[in-house]
Structure 1
Amino acid sequence: MQLLLTRTQTGSLCAICAAFLFSTKAIFIKQAYALSPQVDATVLMALRMASALPFFLLISWLSRRDYSAVQAKDWGLLILSGLMGYYLASWLDFQGLMHISASLERIILFLYPTLTVLASSILYKQKLRWASIFAIALSYGGTLIVMLQEQSSSPHGSNFWLGASLVFASAVAFAAYLLTAPRLMLKFGSWHFTGLALSIACIGTLAHFALAVPAPLQLMQQLPLSVFAYGAALGLFVTVLPTVLLMQGIARLGAAQSAMIASVGPVLTILLAVAFLDEHLNGWQWFGCLLNIIGVLMISLSKNKLARAD
């Protein structure tokens, strides 16, 4: 008997697979850092984006469209958006992961929908509803519980707060990207915008690597082959494939249902961190994680929220 999936089932499967693949990012990064002292955020980001660039260029080419309605300022905003959302945000995230656990990194990053709501409230001078304020308080309160519990037993000392701050700055940068994305998607089309923005981010990352690292080619020759394997995995299985799957999920389910499925992301990362990185969360941290997820879901799924977080 031939198995045919409905549109909703296909969308759900795409969203679940995307959530799982995104959840592996911090695991791959942590494992790559442990392979060689020469591997830092800039090096690993370059390997990731070099692997992803050909695919995003192909997406850009296949989804190209008429640019007659696109103005110079739209191109400028596209370049800024790509650099902000997938170059700066990713680099800050990779840097932060050098100092905090993979579990905490995922929980902090999960706050980005609350940041889009707060930013929209300020930009459009709209008053936040009490439900939104309560949801934001839940998510940040839960995150703070997890942070304080980890900080008390952190082996990194003073670098813990640096790492947490870098990851939160990454969430801010990604939220800024999300605020510009809807308008640009209308101008360029969702697929074409994604391909262009991520291609720009890849090129920006490679330029950063070439300028910031002394003798970059010599460094590449000294890296273990396993580091290149992790870089390729980050590019293909944690960047390109989940991005395509998530867009397919949103197209079939809508942003709200996709956001609900994506809420399993922090839990998946924590479980993977326990299995592969020997990280452990105590009862208070699981409680904080639950508050974080509930608060972010309330924001993401609210029909009357101030800004969409997709």
Structure 2
Amino acid sequence: MQTSKQFWYGLGLGVLGIVLFSSKAVMVKMAYTYKVDSISILLLRMLFSFPFYLVIAFWYNKQNGNVKPNKKDYLWLVFFGFVGYYLASYFDFVGLTYIKASLERIILFLYPTIVLLLNKWFLKQPISKIQGFAIGLTYLGVVIAFSSEVSITGPDVILGGFYILLSAITYASYLVGSGWLIPKFGVVKFTAYAMLVSCVCVFIHYGFISKSNLLDLSWQVYVLGACIAVFATVIPSFLVSASIKMISSSNFAIVAGVGPISTIILAGIFLNEMLTWIQLFGALVVIIGILLVSLNKTSNT
């Protein structure tokens, strides 16, 4: 039986996890001020994250989910690690070179709607009228926010928005496709393995295309890379998991609405980013739409 104290504790963990996740875009934008490219800062994120997930994977190595995975399952895990964490992260970091951190979070926040659309197209799962209305509402909010930004900063924001949208699509694809694998491995073990796959992909990517010397970066970039790995990747992933376990996924869907708001606030404090009233209205429309999608989806399960 859940007590009121446990609920508020779980709620606090969820809010903290979401705020820490939201800080990633802000810290990436701060790193870019030191003339570092996207693949280098992504590499630092993975380098500092790698030991944590390696220990987690080793610790949970002998623990399986409901069904023991076979060799084919491991191949799918590699694929989804490539798509869901490597590609999604790479597109996100590249997109952040063109657009504001606060706008990045608004687009990434669309992934629940993309999950619904992918389930509709590939798994033939129906979309309710409320969900359809909410999906339309979220994309209307993005159009409102970005049409204003294009007039302010120019067409580069469209390219940046496109990369962030690709990040949201690849992450949503990972969520849809990996759903049947997670029960076989267990959530923690699957996440750790998928993250290790993405780390290796980033290492290979950097080795082939990067022309920069990782040892020539300023010390601030290393600090930010470590902070992104620890405080915006590893720690919030466990905080969110603990929160969902304590307060349920439906309540966490409401907590997730803090994400874009916290990014806007953090970007204003640390990056001096200012959104217009029209963009703030667009962000609010997106948040309302996603909450409708998440709550309606949960109530139907």
* Range into which the TM-score falls when normalised by the shorter chain: over 0.9
Instruction: Give me the whole-angstrom Cα distance separating, in 1, the residues matched to 2:285 and 2:197.
Output: 36
Please name the residue that 2:95 is paired with.
Answer: 96
Q: 1:109-124, aligned counterparts within 5 Å?
A: 109-124=108-123
Instruction: Give me the whole-angstrom Cα distance separating, in 1, the residues matched to 2:14 and 2:40.
Output: 30
Please name the residue that 2:226 is paired with.
Answer: 232
Please name the residue that 2:107 is paired with.
Answer: 108
* Equivalent in 235, 247, 250 of residue 241 of structure 1: 235
Flag the 1:304–1:189 CA change in 2: closer, same or farther, 3 A: closer
Instruction: Give me the whole-angstrom Cα distance separating, in 2, the residues matched to 1:174 and 1:304.
Output: 20
Instruction: Give me the whole-angstrom Cα distance separating, in 1, the residues matched to 2:43 and 2:181.
Output: 26
Instruction: Give me the whole-angstrom Cα distance separating, in 2, the residues matched to 1:259 and 1:95.
Output: 28
The aligned amino acid for 1:252 is M
Please name the residue that 2:80 is paired with.
Answer: 81
Q: Is the 8 A contact 2:250 2:298 kept in 1?
A: no
Structure 1: gaps spanning 5 or more residues: none
The aligned amino acid for 1:229 is V
Please name the residue that 1:151 is paired with.
Answer: 150
Q: 1:248-259, aligned counterparts within 5 Å?
A: 248-259=242-253
Q: How many angstroms does 1:127 deviate by?
A: 3.5
Q: Is the 8 A contact 1:84 1:177 kept in 2?
A: yes
Q: Is the 8 A contact 1:299 1:305 kept in 2?
A: no
Residues 110-135 of structure 1 show CA distances to partners (whole Å, capped at 9, x for unaligned) of: 00000000000111224422111100
Q: How many angstroms does 1:221 deviate by?
A: 2.1
Q: Is the 8 A contact 2:257 2:287 kept in 1?
A: yes
The aligned amino acid for 1:87 is Y
Please name the residue that 1:169 is paired with.
Answer: 166
Q: How many angstroms does 1:63 deviate by?
A: 1.7
The aligned amino acid for 1:107 is I
* Equivalent in 257, 262, 267 of residue 263 of structure 1: 257
**Structure 2 residue 199 is matched with structure 1 residue 205:** no
Q: Is the 8 A contact 1:273 1:279 kept in 2?
A: yes
Instruction: Give me the whole-angstrom Cα distance separating, in 2, the residues matched to 1:222 and 1:164.
Output: 30
Residues 186-228 of structure 1 show CA distances to partners (whole Å, capped at 9, x for unaligned) of: 00011111111111111111111112113x6xx1221111111
How many residues of Structure 1 are paired with residues of Structure 2 in the alignment? 297
Q: How many angstroms does 1:69 deviate by?
A: 2.1
Instruction: Give me the whole-angstrom Cα distance separating, in 2, the residues matched to 1:170 and 1:262.
Output: 18
Tell me the SS of whatever aligns to 1:135: helix
Please name the residue that 2:175 is paired with.
Answer: 178
Q: Is the 8 A contact 2:53 2:196 kept in 1?
A: yes
Q: Is the 8 A contact 1:52 1:239 kept in 2?
A: yes
Q: How many angstroms does 1:303 deviate by?
A: 4.2
Tell me the SS of whatever aligns to 2:99: coil
Instruction: Give me the whole-angstrom Cα distance separating, in 2, the residues matched to 1:31 and 1:304.
Output: 36
The aligned amino acid for 2:129 is W
**Structure 2 residue 25 is matched with structure 1 residue 26:** yes
Instruction: Give me the whole-angstrom Cα distance separating, in 2, the residues matched to 1:182 and 1:252.
Output: 21
Deviates more, 1:167-176 or 1:252-261: 252-261
The aligned amino acid for 1:273 is A
Deviates more, 1:197-206 or 1:143-152: 197-206
Instruction: Give me the whole-angstrom Cα distance separating, in 2, the residues matched to 1:42 and 1:305.
Output: 40
Flag the 1:16–1:100 CA change in 2: closer, same or farther, 3 A: same
Flag the 1:275–1:304 CA change in 2: closer, same or farther, 3 A: closer
Percent identity, aligned pairs only? Answer: 37
Instruction: Give me the whole-angstrom Cα distance separating, in 2, the residues matched to 1:147 and 1:129.
Output: 27
**Structure 2 residue 215 is matched with structure 1 residue 221:** yes
After the TM superposition, which segments of 4 or more aligned residues of structure 1 sit over 3 Å from their partners?
303-306
Residues 125-175 of structure 1 show CA distances to partners (whole Å, capped at 9, x for unaligned) of: 244221111000110000110000111101xx3322111100000000000
Instruction: Give me the whole-angstrom Cα distance separating, in 2, the residues matched to 1:280 and 1:304.
Output: 34
Please name the residue that 1:137 is paired with.
Answer: 136
Q: Is the 8 A contact 1:52 1:235 kept in 2?
A: yes
Tell me the SS of whatever aligns to 2:179: helix
The aligned amino acid for 1:261 is V
Q: 1:1-40, aligned counterparts within 5 Å?
A: 6-36=5-35, 39-40=36-37
**Structure 2 residue 284 is matched with structure 1 residue 284:** no
Tell me the SS of whatever aligns to 2:69: coil
Instruction: Give me the whole-angstrom Cα distance separating, in 2, the residues matched to 1:127 and 1:236.
Output: 39
Q: Is the 8 A contact 1:114 1:296 kept in 2?
A: yes
RMSD: 1.8
Flag the 1:185–1:7 CA change in 2: closer, same or farther, 3 A: farther
